[in-house]
Amino acid sequence: MSLYLPHFNLQNYNTLASPVCADFFVSVKDEAELMAALKFAKENNLPLLVLGGGSNIVLHDDFPGLAIHIQFMGKELVREDAEHVYIKAAAGENWSDFVDYCLDEQSWGLENLSLIPGNVGAAPIQNIGAYGVELKDVFSELTALEIKSGLSITFTAETCQFGYRDSVFKNALKDQFIITSVTFKLTKTPALKIHYPALRDALTNVSADKITPELVSQIVCDIRRSKLPDPKTIPNVGSFFKNPIVNTTTLAAIQQAFPNVVAYPVDENSVKLAAGWLIDRAGWKGFSQGAAVHEQQALVLTNPNRLRGSAVLEVAELIKASVLTKFGVELEQEPRNYP
């Protein structure tokens, strides 16, 4: 039987180390415990806060409800064919550890997504991505519990409606489901994706026959560690803003004043701007006011003083206003605010 802890400090359950409290807290290890927690919340008229690794949330104030920490664990090979293996991971598995597990199993496709913080269950919600690969590229299906009915439902890539850092779980089905497992479609033969500029540059002097998934993973980890602070040392949620997508007309206008603006093609009519570049050129790198802007990567907001998330949001709003004024581009926050 799960233990419901009152007035529980969530500082150790979010990577911003925001010291807010939930009215109640419970950890659940299987579907039966999750169903019991949902019943407890319903009977006591409590709103829900579902926690995994806590790496994509900003807890800016105390939460007047039940925080449910998903600790479903387990990994298994569910099927395979001539070219692919399908590996299911429970929602509570640490993402970075799962990537390492797949590399050890010689199941390829996740190497570009190495060292991303958080747990498996949150990965599809955000359609996490890095270095030219998104979760949707290696996705097979997921199971999720519908909060209202208690039914377990399977979602395909199509029904997840994946977009750039987006899915149906952030839109039409927001707060209606709790993901319990994700199945990945990985390859038996390496199919390396090394076109992303930082990866390509790092591999310039490496002969093609020496480039392996393990090497790509190692380089991705090295790049991430050089740019991004470890949340255990300096609290953060990784990239705080999405890279904004603008049309080519907007890009041309920006290029008139800033010819070296960093942009990547999306399609023939739109490009993705580097949010970190915009923030850096607006003068925010290294800024500190309670919360701070990381000195190595302006896209990362940190909480070195372990203040409530409201301190981070104050800095984020200053940055958004500044970038809008300077470039005419509106930044969109990646992590979700609670409550």
| CA gap 327, 206 in Å, rounded | 38
pLDDT digits (tens, 9 = 90+) for 226-243: 989 999 999 999 999 999
Q: Could you tell me which residues are beta bridge partners of residue 163?
A: 166
- Classify 165 as helix, strand or coil: coil
Look at residue 209 and tell me whether its pLDDT is greater than 70. Answer: yes
Q: Grade residue 180 by pLDDT with cuts at 50, 70 and 90.
A: very high
In 68-78, which positions are buried (b, 16+ CB within 10 angstroms) versus exposed (e)? bbbbbeebeee
Name which of 136, 157, 150, 135 is nearest 180 in CA terms: 150
pLDDT (0 to 100) of residue 90: 98
| CA gap 90, 105 in Å, rounded | 17
Cα torsion 1, 10, 13, 19 to 10°: value is -170
Residue 41 is given by DSSP the state H
Q: Grade residue 32 by pLDDT with cuts at 50, 70 and 90.
A: very high
334 is catalytic: yes
Name which of 120, 32, 33 is nearest 68 in CA terms: 33
Q: Grade residue 2 by pLDDT with cuts at 50, 70 and 90.
A: confident
> What are 55's two structure tokens?
């790496």
Over residues 170-190, mean pLDDT: 98
Look at residue 1 and tell me whether its pLDDT is greater than 70. Answer: no
Over residues 79-103, mean pLDDT: 98
Neighbours of 15 (CB within 10 A): 22
| Topology (CATH level 3) of domain 5-70 | 3.30.43
Q: Does domain 236-338 have CATH number 3.30.70.920?
A: no
- CATH 3.30.465.10 residue ranges of the chain are 75-227
* Cβ 293 vs Cβ 228: under 8 Å: no
pLDDT digits (tens, 9 = 90+) for 130-155: 999 999 999 999 999 999 999 999 99
Look at residue 157 and tell me whether its pLDDT is greater than 80. Answer: yes
pLDDT digits (tens, 9 = 90+) for 302-339: 999 999 999 999 999 999 999 999 999 999 999 999 99
- CATH 3.90.78.10 residue ranges of the chain are 236-338
Over residues 202-217, mean pLDDT: 96
| CA gap 66, 282 in Å, rounded | 40
Over residues 113-133, mean pLDDT: 97
- Classify 180 as helix, strand or coil: strand
| CA gap 195, 4 in Å, rounded | 48
pLDDT (0 to 100) of residue 212: 97
Answer CATH for 75-227 from 3.40.50.360, 3.30.465.10, 3.50.50.60, 3.10.129.10: 3.30.465.10
pLDDT (0 to 100) of residue 313: 98
Tokens 């949707």 locate to: 136
pLDDT (0 to 100) of residue 221: 97
pLDDT digits (tens, 9 = 90+) for 35-81: 999 999 999 999 999 999 999 999 999 999 999 999 999 999 999 99
Query: Catalytic pick from 167, 239, 281, 308?
Result: 239
- CATH 3.30.43.10 residue ranges of the chain are 5-70
Share of the chain above pLDDT 90, in %: 98
| CA gap 318, 123 in Å, rounded | 28
Query: Catalytic pick from 33, 93, 111, 334?
Result: 334
> What are 3's two structure tokens?
């233990």
pLDDT (0 to 100) of residue 106: 97
Q: What is the mean pLDDT of the chain?
A: 97
> What are 244's two structure tokens?
């904004």
Query: Catalytic pick from 141, 165, 281, 308?
Result: 165
**pTM (2 decimals)?**
0.94
pLDDT (0 to 100) of residue 146: 98
